[in-house]
């Protein structure tokens, strides 16, 4: 009897040890339970959206075992799914927070989404071309009197947009779009020049505000051991809105606008055209733009793509001037 009791106690002892090891994660087939880690991934790649539009977010969780999930908008719980789609018809800043938790701990991550009205494709009134796809040309001029181009006052910025339609089966280049729009709009003037290695380059954009033509004049420029000669141009020098620079020793920097009230900005040695790309129905923030490393003639258009031009000084800072989306308006139809 005593021997049988000892046998039973031995079995119970081993069983208890096995249960204890299982609770501690000692099973070779299971990872030990740890506190979760979580981060928010912005699948839409936009921190600002139009009212009523959606931004898609995903919670990326590490250590998902027994983990729960909660999404909050300004402190109010809104979802427990891995993917959360945020939308609001109300403008303002919204704090989006995700929390992952289990019995060992809690982790959170958050980001801010700005809902704002802004200039969008449907606001464009001046369209060129035909086809099911559409791209946008936007040009940001600054008045010649401004000394600090990096931080101009709002009143000194003239920022306008045109629309361009094209066939999906035959995408044109960014250069094609600029030339076609200039041909259609008699107020838009372009200077181009050939680069022997990379094709045509954009040297300047002009805009005739009052419809009486444009007149610009540059002075001689000493550049290194070269003298670049000044040049005088009127609308008669532009064929279908385009003037092609063919002489290498001509100064395309520092044009003075002689025709009152008009805009001109451009250059190549002192300032140069900065080429930016945006995408979607609207580009609401400067940081959404990506600098293009290609000339316009080397880049094929994509649907709902914004091709935006600013002009940047060439100096030691090497800073490209960003577009200012909140100042963008539609170029009037002609």
| Domains, the chain, with CATH or none | 37-115 (2.60.40.10), 121-330 (no CATH)
> Which tokens hold the place of 298?
């080397």
- For position 312, what pLDDT does the model report? 84
Give Cβ neighbours of residue 15 (< 8 Å, ≥ 6 apart): none
The whole-angstrom separation of Cα 314 and Cα 322 is: 14
Give Cβ neighbours of residue 69 (< 8 Å, ≥ 6 apart): 38, 59, 61, 80, 81, 82, 98, 99, 100
pLDDT along the chain (334 residues), means of 10: 46 44 48 87 96 97 86 98 97 98 94 97 98 98 78 92 98 98 98 85 94 94 91 96 93 91 90 93 96 93 98 72 96 92
- For position 76, what pLDDT does the model report? 97
- For position 31, what pLDDT does the model report? 65
Burial (Cβ within 10 Å: 0-12, 13-18, ≥19) of residue 131: middle
Give, in degrees to the nearest 5, the angle at Cα 90 between 88 and 93.
85
**Reported pTM:** 0.83
């Amino acid at each position: 009897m005593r021997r049988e009791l000892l046998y039973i106690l031995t079995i119970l002892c081993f069983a208890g040890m096995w249960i204890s090891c299982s609770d501690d994660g000692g099973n070779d087939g299971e990872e030990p339970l740890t506190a979760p880690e979580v981060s928010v991934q912005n699948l839409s790649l936009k921190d600002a959206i139009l009212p009523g539009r959606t931004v898609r977010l995903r919670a990326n969780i590490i250590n998902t075992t027994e983990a729960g999930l909660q999404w909050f908008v300004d402190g109010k719980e809104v979802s427990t799914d891995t993917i959360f789609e945020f939308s609001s018809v109300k403008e303002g800043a919204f704090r989006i927070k995700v929390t992952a938790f289990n019995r060992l701990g809690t982790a959170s991550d958050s980001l801010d989404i700005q809902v704002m009205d802004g200039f969008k494709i449907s606001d464009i009134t001046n369209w060129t071309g035909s086809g099911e796809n559409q791209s946008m040309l936007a040009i940001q001029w600054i008045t010649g009197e401004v000394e600090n181009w990096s931080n101009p006052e709002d009143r000194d910025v003239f920022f306008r947009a045109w629309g361009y339609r094209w066939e999906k089966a035959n995408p044109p280049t960014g250069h094609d779009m600029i030339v076609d729009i200039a041909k259609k709009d008699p107020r838009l003037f372009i200077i181009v020049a050939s680069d022997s290695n990379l094709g045509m380059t954009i040297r300047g954009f002009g805009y005739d505000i009052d419809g009486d033509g444009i007149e610009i004049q540059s002075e001689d420029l000493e550049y290194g051991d070269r003298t670049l000669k000044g040049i005088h141009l009127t609308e008669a020098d532009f064929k279908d809105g385009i003037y092609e620079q063919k002489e290498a020793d001509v100064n395309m920097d520092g044009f003075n606008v002689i025709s009152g009230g008009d805009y001109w900005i451009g250059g190549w040695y002192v300032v140069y055209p900065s080429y930016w790309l945006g995408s979607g129905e609207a580009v609401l923030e400067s940081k959404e733009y990506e600098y293009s490393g290609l000339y316009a003639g080397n880049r094929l258009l994509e649907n709902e793509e914004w091709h935006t031009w600013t002009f940047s000084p060439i100096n030691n800072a090497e800073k490209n001037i960003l577009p200012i989306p909140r100042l963008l308006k539609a170029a009037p139809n002609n």
